[in-house]
């Protein structure tokens, strides 16, 4: 498989531009927390010949493909099979950190992974196929209330209760094992007027994927850990593809870029100064041109921040063995 045939890195030029000031010096380390097929990493290794890369991914197929793609960079590249909430162990003193969140091009394009509601496949949806619960198991074992809650929370789906009820009723006679079966059931459960507003499966599939991979809880741990691990002057760039992800990133960046001085303090002491400064003004979108040529760039929201100072917590983390 040629990764260039199925993978167009989203907002590549902007990512390079934002990370560049932190990667100019010899010995700079870039951590790609969501390596995927290595498109962003390849561009950054080429652009900055003195940097080293640590690439993380939970998907063994992605690591294999990225390893082949990046082999020409030799010992400048270290690849790690891990979920990115372990980033604190691999990014101590990093100069730059990149997150490209959500489901990858590889996972979407390989029908047998079960991520795409437009393709019939086993209901797997695990980003790491070596461990964890599958979407099929979620649909078979979760109670009606549990299913409703994940559809509401992770899919922001207005018909959550209706869909959960239909799923529980259907599985009593026939287990749901394939994505096509689930899509047919959701279409059956959706009033015609609602179907005209968008595909009934979109939000349910998003919710199942997030639940199977614990994406939001992992992200909630990973972003603060990455910010703690960064070196002073280091930069973090995060691309999100849905509002729940972007909200977590925004909250972490906003908290870190605010003063912690008590109200009314006449002079801000150094220990109360912001730890970070945001580089982007809010969340940046892909250009109209990129959205036209690469549909996967349409929902992206990019945020970036630069580390201004260490705190005792950061130093304690970096001193751990």
Annotated binding site: 38-40, 57, 84, 100, 107
Distances (CA, A) of 294 to 65, 76, 105: 21, 30, 11
3-class DSSP state of 310: coil
- Distance of alpha carbon 218 from alpha carbon 309, whole angstroms: 25
Asked if 307 and 229 touch (Cβ cutoff 8 Å), the reply is no
- Cβ-based burial of 139 (10 A; exposed 0-12, middle 13-18, buried ≥19): buried
Burial 149-183 (b: 16+ CB within 10 A, else e): bbbbebbebebbbbbbebbbebeeeeebbebebbb
Please, which residues have CB within 8 angstroms of residue 290's CB and are 6 or more apart in sequence? 10, 11, 297
Q: Which residues are documented as binding site for S-adenosyl-L-methionine?
A: 38-40, 57, 84, 100, 107
- Distance of alpha carbon 122 from alpha carbon 176, whole angstroms: 9
How many CB atoms within 10 Å of residue 191?
Answer: 10
Asked if 256 and 303 touch (Cβ cutoff 8 Å), the reply is no
Distances (CA, A) of 205 to 5, 85, 171, 179, 236: 25, 23, 17, 9, 29
């Amino acid at each position: 498989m040629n990764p260039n045939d199925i993978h167009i890195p989203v907002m590549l030029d902007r990512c390079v531009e934002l990370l560049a000031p932190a990667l100019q010096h010899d010995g700079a380390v870039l951590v790609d927390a969501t390596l995927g097929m290595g498109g962003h990493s390849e561009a950054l290794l080429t652009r900055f010949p003195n940097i080293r890369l640590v690439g993380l991914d939970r998907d063994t197929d992605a690591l294999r493909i990225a390893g082949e793609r990046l082999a020409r960079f030799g010992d400048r590249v270290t690849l790690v099979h891990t979920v990115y909430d372990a980033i604190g162990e691999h990014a101590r003193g990093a100069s730059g950190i990149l997150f490209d969140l959500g489901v990858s091009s590889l996972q979407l394009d390989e029908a047998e992974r079960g991520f795409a509601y437009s393709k019939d496949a086993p209901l797997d949806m695990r980003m790491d196929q070596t461990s964890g619960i599958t979407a099929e198991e979620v649909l078979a074992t979760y109670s009606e209330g549990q299913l409703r809650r994940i559809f509401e929370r992770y899919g922001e789906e207005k018909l959550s209760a209706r869909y959960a009820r239909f799923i529980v009723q259907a599985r009593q006679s026939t287990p749901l094992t394939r994505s096509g079966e689930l899509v047919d059931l959701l279409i059956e459960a959706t009033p015609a007027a609602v179907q005209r507003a968008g595909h009934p499966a979109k939000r349910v599939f998003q919710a199942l994927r997030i639940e199977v991979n614990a994406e939001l809880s992992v992200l909630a741990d990973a972003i603060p850990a990455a910010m703690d691990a960064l070196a002073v002057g280091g930069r973090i760039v995060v691309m999100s593809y849905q509002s729940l992800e972007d909200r977590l990133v925004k909250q972490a960046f906003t908290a870190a870029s605010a003063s912690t001085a008590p109200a009314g303090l006449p002079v801000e002491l150094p220990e109360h100064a912001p730890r970070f400064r945001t580089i982007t003004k809010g969340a940046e979108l892909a250009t109209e041109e990129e959205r036209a040529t690469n549909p996967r760039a349409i929902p992206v929201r990019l945020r970036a921040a630069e580390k201004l100072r260490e705190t005792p917590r950061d130093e304690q983390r970096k001193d751990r063995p």
